[in-house]
Each structure stands twice: as C-alpha cells, then as structure tokens.
Amino acid sequence: MSRVIALCFLLLAAVIGFLHIDSRPAWAPFALNSPTIAKEQLELQPVAPAKQSTVPSKSNIPTPLDTWLPETGAPSVHAASLIALKDGAIRAFWFAGSREGAADVVINSAVLDPKSSTWGAPTVVMDRVSAEKGLSRYIAKLGNPVPARTSDGRLQLFFVTVSIGGWAGSSISSVISDDEGLTWSKPQRLISSPLINLSTLVKSPAITFADGRLGLPAYHEWIGRFGEFLRIDAGQVIDKRRMSSGRGAIQPLVFVNNVQDATAFFRQTRSSHQPKQIPVSQTQNAGQAWHSADDLPIANPNAAVAGVELSDGVRILALNNIEAGRSRLVLMMSDTQSSHWQIIEVLEDDSALPDDQRREFSYPYLITANGNDAHLVYTWDRKKIRHRYFSGAWLKQAHSQLSSAESVAPAEEAK
C-alpha cells in the first residue's frame, strides 16, 4: 500500500512539474567550447617538443604524475571531483567522515599548484550543521560535490543533501564562490519538483548551453532509478527532462557531439539477468528529449563512469571494466570518428587477488585543464583519494598507438 501511495504522489508531482516548467524559456543549443585554463599555462610536467615529428617520442614523455589528495584525518573518503581555476591551478572537492552517510561527513577542498605539483592544505567547504543553518531545514548527511563554472565566471558547487532516509531521499543544493573557492555563499536548494523535491542526486560534470545556462546531469534512486537532465539558470532549475527510464541507469555522463546532439553513458543498476554493460541514451535536440540506444559493450559492475573530451576530439573514459566488484580501474580512449574504445592504462587491478584482499577503486572523475591533458581523481579503498595527471604529450602518444581495427572485446576487458 505504501508503495502505491508513493507512486501516486510521484505521478502527481510529475504532472505539476510539467505544468510548472511548460512556460519556461526555450532551449538553447549546446556550447561546443567548454572553459579551460588558457593554453599558455604550463602543464604540470613540461615536455620538450619532439624534433621534426608531430608525435612525441617516448623518451620525451614523462610518466603520468601520481599524487594523493591531502589527508584530513577522516577514516573514510569518497566522491572526489575537480575543476580548473583561472590561474592554472586545479581545485578538488571530496567528502570525508567516519563513513559514507555519517553525520560527521564534511565536504573538503584543496588546490593543486601546477608549478610544484603539490596539493595545498585542505579546507572545509560545507558540513552538516552549516548546511542546516543555510538551508533552514534538517540535514542528516552530505555527499557528491560537483563543481561548475557559471556564465559570469564564478564557481558553483553542487552537492547532495539528505534530510530523511537514505540517498533515495536526497536533494541537490549549491553554493557560489566569487573568489575561486576561497569563500562560499549561503547554500541554496535546487527545486527540481514543486511538490516532492526528493531523490535527486548529482555525480557527473555539468555542460553548458550557448545561452550560458548549465545542463546538469542528475539521477533518481527512489521507486525508479533513472537519469534526468536539469537546465539551470542562476541557481534555479528552469526545466528538466528524463534521460532514461526504469531502474537500470543512473549517474549520467554526457558527451556533446555537436550543438544539438549529445550522448549519455550511465552506471548500470540492472537486475541480475540483464547485461552488465554501460547503458546509453542520445539526444538530437540539445537535451529536450532523450532516447535509449544500444549499450556500450564494455563491462560495468554497477559503478560510476567518468569521461572527458579533448580539444582534438579524442575522448577518454575511466571506469571499472569488470562485471562484479570495483577491484579494477582502467583508462580507455576513443575519438569522434570511431566507436572503438581501447584500454590505454590499467590504473589499478586487484581482480586476481582473493576476494578478502581486493581493494575498492571507484567513483572516478575526469577533467581537462587546457584541452590537451587530463586530470583524474578516484576513491582508493575508501581510505584515500588518488590523483593522476596525464600530460598532453602522453595522451597524444597513447592515441597514436591505438589500433583502428577492432575495439577491445567485452570478454577481454573483463579479464
């Protein structure tokens, strides 16, 4: 009976929500150029150009930089994210506490100096008490910080707040910074439904529209498990569209193909008899409508997928490419001219160890700072956050070595 009542409320909320957004501004096309650090900024590991060659030789290419986000003393950390700052630095966010969902969880931030390749001291952006005070409502727990840059150049940090129940009872809130993350505004709750503003979470980066508004990939975990695309203006949800249906696809990651077309990859949450691959949705009208497409034939064990596109059209994924567990994490590459995805780096792999010795490597997050490089952060055994930096030269070399014949078969990826 309780499930039927909940479904009735959800249907009523959907109807009211449709009426509420029906008169909102028309949708703009996607913006194709995402903001990055100026090209003249130094990479973290400067590379001498190869003589008389467009592809750097291996001898000139340093190994990827490997660092750890600063310790905070918390026994458990998770859900790290990144954004490039105007001065060339990289700011990270993550949550830390005694365990995921605990009342003592806080959202931390730290800055990576591109010249010294070292992280500064961590600071607390938001804790439960501050969120309660700013939002004027009870907050039981915090999670999933996701930064974005607004059309006027300010930083906006989205994060998940829960007042009742588990993550299925969550909503999204945000804060704004006028000084690149040194100080933050009072939090504001995003209202994605005028009646029942519950079960809305965020994990993946926002994208931008040509009119400067943000498109935020979100997802639900109550009754259904599906993705939604929120159109945001000045901290308010002015429209939303369903990206998937049912109970099998959450945490959408969006790749923009052109001003109207985009592709979303999802974390699969399917039942045991369904394929453990990456669900896909597509739009041909800048996110106003999404339809399901064939799965990306890469194994997914109910785990988050991260991705980024470089300025030359090359795309990168970081994911757990196994059907069960999160003991293996890899970096894969493709380009806009091909649907082939191939492994270019095995980041972590405990899959051959006994079950009780395997560590968890999860929740990757990827950005590019100058359009040519890639920064990656991910959870390392729920105890640390690992940061990997791949220079433009390293990625160019990896791309030059890709086989154009066939993609890695799913059976091979799962090994």
Q: Give 44-109 as a 3 state SS string.
A: CCCCCCCCCCCCCCHHHCCCCEEEECCCCCCCEEEEEEEEECCCCCEEEEEEEECCCCCCCCEEEE
Q: Over range 293-299, report the average pLDDT.
A: 97
Q: Are 232 and 190 in contact (CB under 8 A)?
A: yes
Q: Are 64 and 391 in contact (CB under 8 A)?
A: yes
- The closest alpha carbon to 267, from 283, 278, 255, belongs to 278
Q: Which two tokens stand for residue 291?
A: 């339809």
- The closest alpha carbon to 251, from 274, 220, 276, 292, belongs to 220
Q: Taking phi first (over 0 means left), then psi (-120 to 50 degrees means alpha), and beta for anything else, what does residue 21 get?
A: alpha
pLDDT score for 61 = 80
Q: What band does 41 get if pLDDT is binned at 50, 70 and 90? A: low
Distance in Å from the first CA to the final CA of the chain:
45
110-124, 280-294, 399-413, range with the lowest pLDDT: 399-413
22-26, 177-181, 334-338, 388-392, range with the lowest pLDDT: 22-26
312: part of which helix (H) or strand (E)?
Answer: none
Q: Which two tokens stand for residue 23?
A: 């008169």
DSSP string, 334-374: EETT----EEEEEEEE-TTS-GGGPPPEEEEEEE-SSSS-E
Phi and psi (nearest 5°) for 196? -115, 95
Q: Write out pLDDT tens, residues 151-210.
A: 999 999 999 999 988 888 899 999 999 999 999 999 999 998 776 777 899 999 999 999
Q: Over range 123-140, report the average pLDDT.
A: 96
Q: Check whether 371 has a pLDDT greater than 70.
A: yes
State if pTM tops 0.75: yes
Q: What band does 99 get if pLDDT is binned at 50, 70 and 90? A: very high
Phi and psi (nearest 5°) for 361? -125, 110
Q: Check whether 17 has a pLDDT greater than 90.
A: no
Q: Which two tokens stand for residue 89?
A: 């630095």
Radius of gyration of the chain (CA): 21
Q: Over range 312-318, report the average pLDDT.
A: 96
Q: Which two tokens stand for residue 377?
A: 């952060």
Q: Write out pLDDT tens, residues 74-87.
A: 999 999 999 999 99
Q: Check whether 18 has a pLDDT greater than 60.
A: no
Q: Check whether 62 has a pLDDT greater than 90.
A: no
CA distances from 198 to 25, 223, 244, 347, 411 (A): 24, 11, 18, 36, 39
Q: Which residue has the higher pLDDT, 36 or 361?
A: 361
Percent over 90 (pLDDT), the chain: 75
Query: How far apart, in whole angstroms, are the C-alpha atoms of residue 326 and residue 308?
Result: 21
Percent over 70 (pLDDT), the chain: 83
pLDDT score for 402 = 82
Query: How far apart, in whole angstroms, are the C-alpha atoms of residue 250 and residue 275?
Result: 15
Query: How far apart, in whole angstroms, are the C-alpha atoms of residue 218 and residue 240?
Result: 10
Strand order in the sheet with 188-189: 141-149, 155-162, 170-177, 188-189
DSSP string, 258-294: SSS-EEEEEEE---TTS--EEEEEEESSTTS--EEEE
Residues present in the chain in total: 415
Q: Are 163 and 99 in contact (CB under 8 A)?
A: no
Query: How far apart, in whole angstroms, are the C-alpha atoms of residue 111 and residue 75?
Result: 21
Residue 189 CB-density burial (10 A; 0-12 exposed, 13-18 middle, 19+ buried): middle
Q: What band does 405 get if pLDDT is binned at 50, 70 and 90? A: very low
Q: Are 208 and 214 in contact (CB under 8 A)?
A: yes
